[in-house]
Amino acid sequence: MEPESRIRVALERNPYDVIIGSGQLARVGDALSALQVRAGTRILVVSNPDVADHYAAQCLSSLEAAGLKPVLLTIDAGEEQKTLDTLRIILDAAQHNGLERTSLMLALGGGVVGDMTGFAAACWLRGIRVIQVPTTLLAMVDASIGGKTGVNHPCGKNLIGAFHQPSLVMIDPLTLRTLPAREFRAGMAEVIKYGVIGDPELFERLEQAEDLSDPGRMTPELLQTILERSAQAKAAVVAADEREGGRRAILNYGHTFGHVVETLTGYGTWLHGEAVAIGMATVGQLAVNKGLWTDSDQQRQLTLIQKAGLPTAWPSLNIDKVLDTLRSDKKVRHGQLRFVLPDAIGSVLISDQIRDDDVRQCLTSQH
Amino acid sequence: MEPESRIRVALERNPYDVIIGSGQLARVGDALSALQVRAGTRILVVSNPDVADHYAAQCLSSLEAAGLKPVLLTIDAGEEQKTLDTLRIILDAAQHNGLERTSLMLALGGGVVGDMTGFAAACWLRGIRVIQVPTTLLAMVDASIGGKTGVNHPCGKNLIGAFHQPSLVMIDPLTLRTLPAREFRAGMAEVIKYGVIGDPELFERLEQAEDLSDPGRMTPELLQTILERSAQAKAAVVAADEREGGRRAILNYGHTFGHVVETLTGYGTWLHGEAVAIGMATVGQLAVNKGLWTDSDQQRQLTLIQKAGLPTAWPSLNIDKVLDTLRSDKKVRHGQLRFVLPDAIGSVLISDQIRDDDVRQCLTSQH
Ligand SMILES: NC(=O)c1ccc[n+]([C@@H]2O[C@H](COP(=O)([O-])OP(=O)(O)OC[C@H]3O[C@@H](n4cnc5c(N)ncnc54)[C@H](O)[C@@H]3O)[C@@H](O)[C@H]2O)c1
Ligand SMILES: NC(=O)c1ccc[n+]([C@@H]2O[C@H](COP(=O)([O-])OP(=O)(O)OC[C@H]3O[C@@H](n4cnc5c(N)ncnc54)[C@H](O)[C@@H]3O)[C@@H](O)[C@H]2O)c1
Ligand SMILES: [Zn+2]
Ligand SMILES: [Zn+2]
């Protein structure tokens, strides 16, 4: 049996485990039995065609072997389908398959499937349990942990949703083998983020790795370390601050400028993780300009981002539109810009002392 | 100034007040200021045409006078409109009016408006504050307190929703003056329920009243007492058991048989409260048959229900269908019927010792 590791998300009310290990997909049924899920329990497994083709059979047979009653629902789950309409499809399936209070939903897929399935589980009968089985790197290290669920509104991302913690997160690195390389690299941006905001050892481990852009060229040990450290980081922040506000805000490192890139280049040009990579590079420069961290640390960050095959250069964007977009971000308070700035590898601070001129100077000097 | 009374819903995480008093509608703005809601805060006031015609102006001007920024959304809010489609209309209005995390929604209307607005507030940005201003007796004594929110699924009532506690419940008995008499009487069923399950003094006060079927013929003191005692009862159960299961189950007194009546006669024949009245009369008889309470207490209950202008006779329904419906109720556990049975005026117990034969005997002897 391959090594597995368990990370506890130590919430007061509904703590749960993140289980990480090669081959875990075949053990999801056992894990649920260990959670006292009764034999005969209905489970609505939600996935999308790409992912289901590869992994649904294994997941379903593991559940069946544990005496559970899974049914599979596949939905189209691109970002454009992350809507109330698709939510309705999941809820209809819940009704159709007779899901009761003791039933479960299980999300098998990337963040889109996870967010929608989690939200459906939050709403069905005012909340049934959900299991997250993420199959993208981004969903493994970020989206599946922490209980944020939801769908997009035509006018903005993730405007509609709920906080609904999963009962279990099951991560099988083997599923990453089929993930498109670009999607894998996008997820690496969040991994690097965890290094910068709080885990200097992870950062160094990444620096020592030969390759960061392809799971096929990484050792299983490195991949396991990456997944464990990232899940630990996310779990710690989530446990400290379940509903955002304080500490959870540091997870937005790189995301403020990243959000600007996503918005102004049109969603679809850059993947989220790519925009975050650009955002980290940019806010790192801002921190250097403000004398908060050293040029050599910024260089280490840039080198790592590039090793993961991710972009660092700020795109050419109208600076006034950039400032407008920064200000319309829902995290802005009382009109004051707030940034998460690095002050060492493994340490960030939150500042509302950044003026428009600082931003202008930083962005224009990047060209 | 008229007397007002405050009942605390003493939840651990988000306690809130229920304020009851004639003329409170004109003081909702002040009450929000007292809750530290900042001047300039946007408030989406959701109502339906009937109710808005009578009360929106007063509510909006009270909010404006307190420096708040209300906008009114009126929606059609019959039970048939309690759907995901109407939820979307509210969420679109939230977007359109720029509702932020610090913004509020306010439900001005009956339980349908309250349940949908509460659910929209639960979902918007993963949860913003909601104020409940109920205008039906049912919503005042039941729906507005306790945080159950949601919409119907085409295949069943309230299947989709969230637990989302209001930040304030504001009850103005004067709004009952325009409520259709039949709606008022339906709400009285829930009031009588509170008497039977836990408040013998309320029960006696109702017995002493000259009229229970028309708020115009009731003294302001009686109405105030009814609203206070009912809110206290609901608040106490909610505080003891926020997410149902144990104590909250006693609120289902009369509802198990009531649900059967609603289902088998087709929704629309009887109002919910009327079905509950029949349900209380019926389960009272079951308790007498089982030797749990006295015939004279059952007589007192029947007399009170009838004084409120509510039905007590079990309709003629196919007994096998009745048993099937009882068993399909989502509160059934492991196939065992569960009933809330009275054993004194002001006291109930929960039993899973009732057999099909007991039900058959009770229902057939009612004709
Ligand atoms: N809930 C949170 O806390 C949180 C955090 C971050 C992001 N998100 C959300 O996550 C979403 C993005 O998630 P994502 O990056 O996982 O993208 P995604 O869910 O869109 O998946 C990316 C693509 O990879 C495919 N795919 C997934 N797993 C695969 C596999 N193992 N093999 C082959 N193909 C596979 C999918 O079919 C899809 O085409 C966004 O909607 C974002 O809002 C949520
Ligand atoms: N959330 C809960 O805990 C809870 C509890 C019980 C019931 N409910 C829900 O509440 C709903 C029923 O609520 P309801 O009985 O208040 O019915 P309702 O909301 O349908 O209102 C009944 C009618 O009265 C009208 N009306 C309301 N106030 C008025 C006023 N002051 N003057 C004139 N007309 C007025 C409305 O326009 C409507 O036509 C159901 O959907 C039920 O599921 C929820
Ligand atoms: Zn991110
Ligand atoms: Zn009721």
B152 lines ligand 2 (CB under 6 A): no
User: Residues B331-352: what's their mean pLDDT?
Assistant: 86
The reported pTM is: 0.94
User: Residues B246-263: what's their mean pLDDT?
Assistant: 90
Q: Worst-scoring range by mean pLDDT, B148-162, B176-190, B330-344, B348-362?
A: B330-344
Taking the CA of residue B142 as reference, the ligand 2 atom at the shortest distance is 5
B190 lines ligand 2 (CB under 6 A): no
Q: Worst-scoring range by mean pLDDT, A288-297, A326-335, B294-303?
A: A326-335
Nearest-ligand number for the alpha carbon of A109: 1
List the structure tokens of B245.
């299961």
Nearest-Cα distance to chain B for A159, in Å, is 5
Neighbours of B320 (CB within 10 A): 10
Q: Do B95 and A155 touch (CB under 8 A)?
A: yes
**Whether the predicted pLDDT of B244 surpasses 90:** no
Residues near ligand 1 (Cβ within 6 A): A 48, 50-51, 54, 79, 82, 109-113, 115, 135-136, 138-139, 142-143, 146, 148, 157-158, 175, 178-179, 183
pLDDT tens digits, A113-160: 999 999 999 999 999 999 999 999 999 999 999 999 999 999 888 999
Q: What local confidence, expressed as pLDDT, does residue B336 receive? A: 76
Nearest-Cα distance to chain A for B27, in Å, is 28
Nearest-ligand number for the alpha carbon of A173: 1
User: Residues A39-67: what's their mean pLDDT?
Assistant: 98
User: Residues A315-335: what's their mean pLDDT?
Assistant: 82
Q: Do B150 and A101 touch (CB under 8 A)?
A: no
User: Residues B338-348: what's their mean pLDDT?
Assistant: 96
CA distance to B27, B31, B212, per residue, from B4 (Å): 11, 12, 22
List the structure tokens of A129.
């349990």
pLDDT tens digits, A270-288: 999 999 999 999 999 999 9
Q: What local confidence, expressed as pLDDT, does residue B4 receive? A: 87
B330 interfacial to chain A (CB closer than 8 Å): yes
User: Residues A68-89: what's their mean pLDDT?
Assistant: 97
Between A179 and A247, name the one with better pLDDT.
A179
Which residues of chain B does A161 touch, with a Cβ-Cβ cutoff of 8 Å?
Answer: 123, 125-126
* % helix, strand, coil for chain A, step of 5: 50, 20, 30
Q: What local confidence, expressed as pLDDT, does residue A335 receive? A: 66
User: Residues A56-78: what's their mean pLDDT?
Assistant: 97
B179 lines ligand 2 (CB under 6 A): yes
List the structure tokens of B228.
């206070």
Diameter of chain B by CA atoms? 63
Taking the CA of residue A271 as reference, the ligand 1 atom at the shortest distance is 15
A185 interfacial to chain B (CB closer than 8 Å): no
B160 interfacial to chain A (CB closer than 8 Å): yes
Q: How far is the CA of B75 from the centre of ligand 4 (A)?
A: 23
Q: Do B160 and A91 touch (CB under 8 A)?
A: yes
> What residue spans in chain B does CATH classification 3.40.50.1970 cover?
5-178
User: Alpha-carbon distance A326 to A336, whole Å?
Assistant: 10
Q: What local confidence, expressed as pLDDT, does residue A6 receive? A: 97
- Contacts for B328 with CB less than 8 Å, ≥ 6 apart: none
Q: What local confidence, expressed as pLDDT, does residue B169 receive? A: 98
User: Alpha-carbon distance A282 to A287, whole Å?
Assistant: 9
Residues across chain A: 367
Q: Do B148 and A126 touch (CB under 8 A)?
A: yes
Q: How far is the CA of B197 from the centre of ligand 4 (A)?
A: 13
ipTM summary value: 0.92
User: Alpha-carbon distance A45 to A109, whole Å?
Assistant: 10
Taking the CA of residue B186 as reference, the ligand 2 atom at the shortest distance is 15
Q: Do B163 and A126 touch (CB under 8 A)?
A: yes
* Of residues B100, B148, B161, nearest to A330 (C-beta): B100
Nearest-ligand number for the alpha carbon of A190: 3
List the structure tokens of B8.
């605390």
pLDDT tens digits, A352-361: 899 999 999 9
Q: What local confidence, expressed as pLDDT, does residue A248 receive? A: 80
Q: What local confidence, expressed as pLDDT, does residue A68 receive? A: 98
Architecture of the domain spanning B189-365:
Up-down Bundle (1.20)
User: Residues A95-109: what's their mean pLDDT?
Assistant: 97
Taking the CA of residue A49 as reference, the ligand 1 atom at the shortest distance is 37
Q: Do A162 and B126 touch (CB under 8 A)?
A: yes
pLDDT tens digits, B200-241: 999 999 999 999 999 999 999 999 999 999 999 999 988 887
User: Residues B325-342: what's their mean pLDDT?
Assistant: 79
pLDDT tens digits, B13-37: 889 999 999 999 999 999 999 999 9
pLDDT tens digits, A236-270: 988 887 555 567 889 999 999 999 999 899 767 89
pLDDT band at A364 (very low <50, low <70, confident <90, very high): confident
pLDDT tens digits, B156-200: 889 999 999 999 999 999 999 999 999 999 999 999 999 999 999
pLDDT tens digits, B82-102: 999 999 999 999 999 999 999
Which residues of chain A does B91 touch, with a Cβ-Cβ cutoff of 8 Å?
Answer: 84, 153, 159-160
- Look over chain A and give the mean of its residue pLDDT values, rounded to a whole number: 94
User: Alpha-carbon distance B25 to B195, whole Å?
Assistant: 27
Which residues of chain A does B334 touch, with a Cβ-Cβ cutoff of 8 Å?
Answer: none
A159 interfacial to chain B (CB closer than 8 Å): yes
A155 interfacial to chain B (CB closer than 8 Å): yes
B156 interfacial to chain A (CB closer than 8 Å): yes
Question: For every residue of A97-122, which 3-state class applies, written as one string?
Answer: CCCCCCCEEEEEECHHHHHHHHHHHH
Q: Which residues of A are catalytic?
A: 126, 148, 190, 234, 244, 248, 252, 255, 259, 272
Identify whether the C-beta of residue B40 lies closer than 8 Å to the C-beta of residue B69: yes
Which residues of chain B does A91 touch, with a Cβ-Cβ cutoff of 8 Å?
Answer: 84, 153, 159-160
**Whether the predicted pLDDT of A16 surpasses 80:** yes
User: Alpha-carbon distance A275 to A268, whole Å?
Assistant: 11
Q: Worst-scoring range by mean pLDDT, A239-243, A332-336, B348-352, B353-357?
A: A332-336
Q: How far is the CA of B218 from the centre of ligand 4 (A)?
A: 23
Please provide the CATH number assigned to the domain covering B5-178: 3.40.50.1970
Q: Do B162 and A161 touch (CB under 8 A)?
A: no
Nearest-Cα distance to chain B for A87, in Å, is 10
User: Alpha-carbon distance B213 to B228, whole Å?
Assistant: 18
pLDDT tens digits, B50-86: 999 999 999 999 999 999 999 999 999 999 999 999 9
- Look over chain B and give the mean of its residue pLDDT values, rounded to a whole number: 94
Q: What local confidence, expressed as pLDDT, does residue A337 receive? A: 86
> What residue spans in chain A does CATH classification 1.20.1090.10 cover?
189-365
User: Residues A7-16: what's their mean pLDDT?
Assistant: 93
Strand ranges, E, within B41-154 = 42-47, 69-74, 104-109, 129-134, 148-153
User: Alpha-carbon distance B71 to B63, whole Å?
Assistant: 10
A15: alpha, beta or left? (left if phi > 0; alpha if psi -120 to 50): beta
A128 interfacial to chain B (CB closer than 8 Å): no
Position B256, amino acid = T
Question: For every residue of A131-168, which 3-state class applies, written as one string?
Answer: EEEECCHHHHHHHCCCCEEEEEECCEEEEEEEECCCCE
Q: What local confidence, expressed as pLDDT, does residue B367 receive? A: 47
Q: How far is the CA of A117 from the centre of ligand 1 (A)?
A: 12
B91 interfacial to chain A (CB closer than 8 Å): yes
Q: What local confidence, expressed as pLDDT, does residue B56 receive? A: 98
